[in-house]
Amino acid sequence: HQPIRRADYLPPDFGIDRVELEFDLEPARTLVRARLAIRRIGASDAALVLDGEDMELLGLALDGNALAADRYRLEPTRLTIPGVPDAFELVIDGAIAPAANTALEGLYISSSVFCTQCEPEGFRRITWFLDRPDVLSVFRTTIRAERARFPILLSNGNLAAARDLGDGRHEAVWDDPFPKPSYLFALVAGDLAVVEDRFTTRSGRDVALKILVEHGKEGRAGYAMDSLKRSMRWDEETYGLEYDLDVFHIVAVSDFNMGAMENKSLNVFNDRFILADPATATDLDYANVEGVVAHEYFHNWTGNRITCRDWFQLSLKEGLTVYRDQEFTADERSRAVKRIQDVRVLRARQFPEDGGPLAHPIRPDSYLEINNFYTATVYEKGAEVIRMLEALLDRDGFRRGMDLYVARHDGEAATCDQFVAAMADANGRDLSHFLRWYGQAGTPRLTLEQSHDAATGTYALTVSQRTPPTPGQPDKLPLHLPVHMGLIGRDGAEIPLRLEGENAPQGTSRVLELTEASQTWRFVGVEAPPVLSINRGFAAPVVVESSESEDDLALRMRADADPFSRWEAAQSFATRLLLAGIAAAAEGRPPPPTDAFVAALAAAFDAVEGDPAFAAELLALPGELYLAEQVAVIDVEAIHAARKALRAAVAQGLVDRLRHVRTGPPRPFAPDAASAGHRALANMALGYLSTIDGPAAAMAQYRAADNMTDRFSALAILSELDVPERTAALADFHDRHAGDALVLNKWLGLQAGSSLPDTLATVRALLDHPAFSYGNPNKIYALVGGFAGNALRFHAADGSGYAFMVDQILRLDPQNPQVASRLLKAFGRWRRFDADRQALMRDAMERIAATPGLSPDCREIVGLSLA
Ligand code: DPP
Ligand code: ZN
């Protein structure tokens, strides 16, 4: 494995116009015939070099003539055929072993169902091919298999033919009329239940919608189906984008490395993002099902109809599609709450990545293993970059840009530059400066200077930006970003915003454009020093370094017109107290006084009556991962202790309000956002009150709950308490849901994430529990990944957590390198800890680095982390 560099991109020497695949499916040994119509588009002397891995070559024929062994060269990762004509047909016969495929890339078996995962480079494990996204081909797929075991045979596109083969086997032929890259190929064969519905597109196309799940789980596919129909409607209404085939399949499988996959007309999903019913799914699960179904559906245009030229452009489809699914959820649910939740995730996952050894731009410059770049940066920061374009061009301008992008590039493999060019051209704007976001890593930091001149009623705001160095990028340039701001009077009223030189105020909230290292704006007609509300709606993915007074924070917490900023003010106030508390805990001093914060929180809480989902967000204190990013040296015990202390103080201060939240008649369960909001607030209150009252109320709710959200929230509270009820509830939960893998994953994850001291011993014991298996990524992420995310116990001072993770990673790497390298990222922030932990973490990674036969996936992560 050599590094692949973006600068080295060359167009392919050959195109493959048409692909005919024939599969004879058997778990142990599947035969694959590929008939490829190949055409030279590059140099006349170029040899044909096809990608291929882990397959057995049975025969090769060029234009009907078998190729002797001296006419080609077969290597572990490629097949080279020199001296080919300018246009020819190549037939490749190969054999693969799906049952032995534990990496879950290519064709594999999940619970007796054949399925595929080809993004990014899995197709080369099915047949030899130009396995790169800029080679677009029309596919016809013939599948033959035993009818009894595999009654359902699916591939992309429309069913062209089906017949019985007489010998207990049957055959199906699928035609996909849309040229597509090989990573969007899919095949599914097995015995599955089908849930059906229909959708009529805006222009009258009648589309059959089919969701395939394990038998017996049909009743858990309804919310996914509803989400799919709403997604289809939304994309028509919001972007004028319609579905383009007569059938849309979603197949849920239990063994899947990622969340889901947007294969043309045959999405394959990790079943945790399809299956949901009140007894087994939390409100978060419902929201995730909705979001992921929408995300994969939206890829049909942003990803499939317009795909990526090369994998460095991954954010072209992922950042854009994440932005689209975020907007869908914002429209379907609460915009403010969605924004808050997305920013929480960005700060907990992407900011640490951007500030550590794995930092990379949303369009990376090089990689060893592209699987390592399905990151929070490419996805979530990529979505923030799209969102900034929307802020800079406004909604209509953004839509014009999308329309032009689709008109120009439909049917093509495009680049990020082309996307931004469409945005610029549709709006007559020069966005060349904005393009720096695609190449520059790191989270910009904004600093502010404000002054007010009472004599002239002028308020001046200076915003400066600076992006800290990241690996390989010591010097950063200023970025083009929206500064979405407003000014608030001491009375809490928004001040009309009139810049010097303007004839009249233009609203009370505006987007200023920062392009320089430092810029100043002067507002006139501002009689008294205002309170600044900046980065409203989190318009730019930056850190604002602000020394706002506690009074100003309290004012904004209750009066800022932007709900996101009200939440943000509460987070800032809490963070400030927590940082003081962390310093105090580390030095054995008492925690700082919390009265002012608690009073402000109470006032802010009272001001949002009627929006329980938002109120729940307001009450949620900053998380441990976020706090860890804010301190010079991470002290996990001090962070945990400080947060616990502030939680107790908030509970005491808001006790009457919290008890009031818990009163009122029980509501019948419904999965909609408003009902979920009530549950979120009630469970938030339950958690706080348990710090005063102990486990009784949580135990009572655990027993009485008629839905998974309430039951699991109670269990999560109990799992943080060292009480007998904890053991009883965990045992009961297990027995209640024995045999339901998805629910037991929650049970594994809760125990792995517990802050109680014996957590590592519990996790070790659970490795042998029947609910756990090394073959299933969801289980690994729940138990082993859950422990890696347990800041307190993973970072135990004696290094036991690190040693455990090394053992797990080394065990997993030979069988599933993608999963192993994801777990390995837990060591990435090692330099942020004290000297003893740094040494332990470095030793742990060196143990991994020294392991013979380590996958390129892990080698790349460990190499970058130690560099
Ligand atoms: N392309 C997938 C997604 O939707 C990842 N495998 O993000
Ligand atoms: Zn995606």
pLDDT single digits (tens) 414-446: 999 999 999 999 999 999 999 999 999 999 999
The number of CA neighbours under 13 Å toward the Cβ of 849 is 15
Query: Ligand 2 centroid to 24 CA: how many Å?
Result: 30
Check pocket membership of 296 for ligand 1, CB cut-off 6 A.
yes
Strand 481-488: give its sheet, edge to edge.
Answer: 510-514, 481-488, 531-534
Query: What is the Å distance from ligand 1's center to 322 Cα?
Result: 10
Provide mean pLDDT across the span 464-474: 98
Angle, helix 696-704 to helix 673-693, in steps of 10 degrees: 150
pLDDT given at position 586: 85
C-beta of residue 186 within 8 angstroms of C-beta of residue 141: no
Judged against a pLDDT cut of 80, whether residue 292 lies above it is answered with yes
Nearest ligand (C-alpha, residue 311): 1
Both structure tokens of 88: 């020819």
CB distance 253 to 268 below 8 Å: yes
Centre of ligand 1 from the C-alpha of residue 560, in Å: 37
Ligand 1 atom at minimum distance from 117 CA:
6
Give the domains, in start order, of the chain with CATH numbers: 4-274 (2.60.40.1730), 307-439 (1.10.390.10), 446-551 (2.60.40.1840)
For the CA of 379, the closest atom of ligand 1 is 7
> Which atom of ligand 1 is found nearest the CA of 317?
1
The first and second tokens of residue 651, run together, are 């509970």
**Rounded to whole angstroms, what are the CA distances from 9 to 180, 319, 382?**
20, 21, 21
Closest ligand relative to 104 C-alpha:
1
Q: What is the mean pLDDT of the chain?
A: 97
Tokens of 193: 């239940």
Least confident of 26-35, 532-541, 662-671, 695-704: 662-671
User: For a pocket test of ligand 1, which of 118, 183, 184, 261 has the largest count of ligand atoms closer than 8 A to its C-beta?
Assistant: 261
- Whose CA is closest to 93, among 116, 123, 61, 47? 61
- Name the strand (E) or helix (H) holding 556: helix 550-559
Record the tokens describing residue 425, joined without a space.
Answer: 């051209």
Does residue 97 have its Cβ closer than 6 Å to ligand 1? Answer: no
How many whole angstroms from 615 Cα to the centroid of ligand 2?
31
Q: Phi first, then psi: give them for residue 100, nearest 5 degrees.
A: -95, 5
The predicted pLDDT at position 725 comes to 96
Biggest alpha carbon distance in the chain?
95
Q: What is the DSSP letter of 180?
A: E
Q: What is the structure's pLDDT at 663?
A: 94
Report the b/e string of 778-787 with b at 16+ CB within 10 A: bbbbbbbbbb
Ligand nearest to the CA of 321: 2
Q: Band the pLDDT of 125: cuts 50, 70, 90.
A: very high
At residue 240, does pLDDT exceed 90? yes
Q: Is the CB of 261 under 6 A from ligand 1?
A: yes
Between the alpha carbon of residue 543 and those of residues 509, 517, 630, the distances in Å are 20, 15, 11
pLDDT band at 700 (very low <50, low <70, confident <90, very high): very high
The two beta strands, 445-453 and 543-545, are: parallel
Which residue puts its alpha carbon closest to atom 2 of ligand 1? 261
Distance from Cα 279 to the centre of ligand 1, integer Å? 28
Extract the tokens encoding 399. Answer: 């839509």
| Ligand 1 close to Cβ of residue 105 (< 6 A) | no
Q: Per DSSP, what are the bridge partners of residue 377?
A: none
The rounded Å distance from CA 224 to ligand 1 centre is 17
Residue nearest to atom 1 of ligand 1 (CA): 261
Q: How far is the CA of 290 from the centre of ligand 2 (A)?
A: 14
Contact 162, 173 (CB under 8 A): yes
The alpha carbon of 301 and the centre of ligand 2 are apart by a number of angstroms equal to: 11
| Ligand 1, atom nearest to 318 Cα | 7
Give the per-residue pLDDT at 339.
Answer: 98
Residue 444 has a pLDDT of 98
**Residues with Cβ–ion distance below 5 A, ligand 2:** 318, 321
Catalytic residue among 296, 380, 494, 629: 296
Distance CA 191, CA 100 (A): 20
Those residues with Cβ within 8 angstroms of residue 462's Cβ, 6 or more apart along the chain or in another chain: 448, 449, 450, 518, 519, 520
295 lines ligand 1 (CB under 6 A): yes
SS (H, E, C) 95-146: EECHHHCCCCCEEEEECCEEEEECCCCCHHHCCCECCCCCCCEEEEEEEEEE
> Ligand 1: which of 274, 296, 298, 317 to mutate, judged by most atoms within 8 Å of the beta carbon?
296
* Model ipTM over 0.95: yes
Task: Provide CB contacts within 8 A for 747, sequence distance 6+.
Answer: 730, 733, 734, 737, 771
Nearest to 414 by CA among 532, 287, 306: 306
Q: Which ligand is nearest to the CA of 383?
A: 2
By most ligand atoms within 8 Å of CB, the mutation choice from 116, 117, 119, 297 for ligand 1 is 119
Q: Do 149 and 110 form a contact (C-beta atoms < 8 A)?
A: no
**119 Cβ closer than 6 Å to some ligand 1 atom:** yes
Pocket test residue of 182, 299, 323, 371 for ligand 1, highest count of atoms within 8 A of CB: 299
- What is the per-residue pLDDT for 1? 75
3-class DSSP state of 705: coil
Q: What angle do CA 13, 15, 17 make, to 5 degrees?
A: 170
Work out the pLDDT band at 667, boundaries 50, 70, 90. confident
Q: Is 193 exposed, middle or buried (0-12, 13-18, 19+ CB in 10 A)?
A: middle
Task: Give the model's confidence band at 666: pLDDT under 50 very low, under 70 low, under 90 confident, else very high.
Answer: confident
Task: State if residue 603 touches ligand 1 by the CB under 6 angstroms criterion.
Answer: no
Q: Looking at the CA of 320, which ligand is closest?
A: 2
**For residue 865, what is the enclosing H or E element?**
helix 856-866
**C-alpha closest to that of 583 among 628, 631, 620, 645:** 631
Window from 453-457, 583-587, 737-741 with minimum mean pLDDT: 583-587
Residues sharing a CB contact under 8 Å with residue 807, sequence separation 6 or more, in sequence order = none
- The answer to whether 191 touches 112, Cβ cutoff 8 Å, is yes
User: Atom 6, ligand 1: which residue's CA is nearest?
Assistant: 261
**Is the CB of 318 inside a 6 Å radius of any atom of ligand 1?**
yes
Q: Which ligand is nearest to the CA of 269?
A: 1
Residue 732 in this model has a pLDDT that exceeds 80: yes
The mean per-residue pLDDT over the stretch 318-346 comes to 98
Residue 2: what pLDDT? 87
What global pTM score does this model have? 0.98
Q: Give the pLDDT band of residue 60 (cuts 50, 70, 90).
A: very high
Q: Tell how far CA 446 is from the center of its chain.
A: 26
Q: What is the pLDDT of residue 688?
A: 98
Q: What are the DSSP calls for 461-511, one per residue? A: EEEEEE---BTTB-S-----EEEEEEEE-TTSPBPP--BTT-SS---S-EE
Per DSSP, 441 falls in state -
**Confidence grade of residue 108 (pLDDT, cut at 50, 70, 90):** very high
Res. 298: pLDDT tops 80: yes
Per-residue pLDDT averaged across 364-376, rounded?
97
H-type alpha helices, 737-834: 741-752, 759-766, 777-780, 786-788, 791-794, 800-812, 817-824
Q: Is the CB of 262 under 6 A from ligand 1?
A: yes
In Å, how far are 119, 409, 623 from 307, measured between CA atoms? 12, 9, 36
Sheet holding 48-51, edge to edge: 48-51, 78-81, 73-75
Query: Is residue 494 in contact with ligand 1, taking CB distance under 6 Å?
Result: no
Task: Please tell me the distance between residue 465's alpha carbon and the centre of ligand 2 in angstroms.
Answer: 31
- Give mean pLDDT, residues 17-23: 99
Output the pLDDT for position 664.
Answer: 81
Nearest alpha carbon to residue 81 among 38, 36, 49, 39: 49
In angstroms, rounded to a whole number, what is the distance separating the alpha carbons of residues 808 and 783? 11
Report the alpha-carbon distance of residue 189 to residue 199 in Å, rounded. 25
Q: How far is the CA of 260 from the centre of ligand 2 (A)?
A: 8
Q: What's the CA-to-centroid distance between 161 and ligand 1, angstroms?
A: 30
Secondary element (H or E) of residue 249: strand 247-253
Q: Which of 323, 374, 818, 819 to mutate for ligand 1's pocket (most ligand atoms within 8 Å of CB)?
A: 374
Whole-angstrom distance, CA of residue 323 vs CA of residue 320:
5
The model's pLDDT over 610-653, given as tens digits with 9 standing for 90+, comes to 899 999 999 999 999 999 999 999 999 999 999 999 999 999 99
Peptide bond into 11 cis (omega under 30): no
Rounded CA-CA distance 322/49 in Å is 34
Closest residue by CA, ligand 1 atom 3: 261
296 annotated active-site: yes
**CA of residue 296 to ligand 2 center, whole Å:** 6
Does the structure show a pLDDT above 90 at 827? Answer: yes
Q: What is the pLDDT of residues 158-190, one digit of tens each?
A: 999 999 999 999 999 999 999 999 999 999 999
Element (H, E) at 89: strand 87-96
